[in-house]
Amino acid sequence: MKPSAKEDEYIARMEYERLKQIAEEEHKKLQEQEREELKELHFMRCPKCGMELIEIKYHEILIDKCSECEGVWLDNGEIDVIAKMEKGGLDKLFSVFK
């Protein structure tokens, strides 16, 4: 007995959904792999010139300073901690970044 048109359509739809799900999972894996590779390439690298960042202790915070262009880079929330420690002039300076 041959399947009806509706049964053929249902089977085709289910197969399409299965293949679509497999493709999406593979795409997610590739994206995650690419993200990890990019993270590895850029970890502790200066966003301006690409050279190595060196951690420097400033009070109790480790800030990142470029070994080449001497740019200083702060992680999320560090500017707030520094502003609280350095009341006065730095508060005004740091308010520009908020």
| Tens-digit pLDDT profile for residues 74-98 | 999 988 888 787 776 566 665 666 6
**pLDDT confidence of residue 76:** 92
Closest CA to 52 of 70, 76, 39: 70
Q: 4 with 39, same domain?
A: yes
In a domain, 59, yes or no: yes
In a domain, 16, yes or no: yes
**pLDDT confidence of residue 54:** 94
In a domain, 86, yes or no: yes
Residue 31: both structure tokens together: 């994206």
Give the range of the structural domain holding residue 71, as residue numbers without chain letter: 53-95
- pTM of the complete model: 0.52
**pLDDT confidence of residue 26:** 97
In a domain, 48, yes or no: no
The rounded distance, in Å, linking the Cα atoms of 81 and 98 is: 13
Diameter of the chain measured on Cα atoms: 86
The rounded distance, in Å, linking the Cα atoms of 92 and 83 is: 9
Residue with tokens 């999406």: 24
What is the distance, to the nearest Å, from the Cα of residue 93 to the centroid of all Cα atoms in its chain?
27
Counting the structural domains of the chain, the total is: 2
pLDDT tens track for 10-65: 999 999 999 999 999 999 999 999 988 888 877 888 988 889 999 999 888 899 99
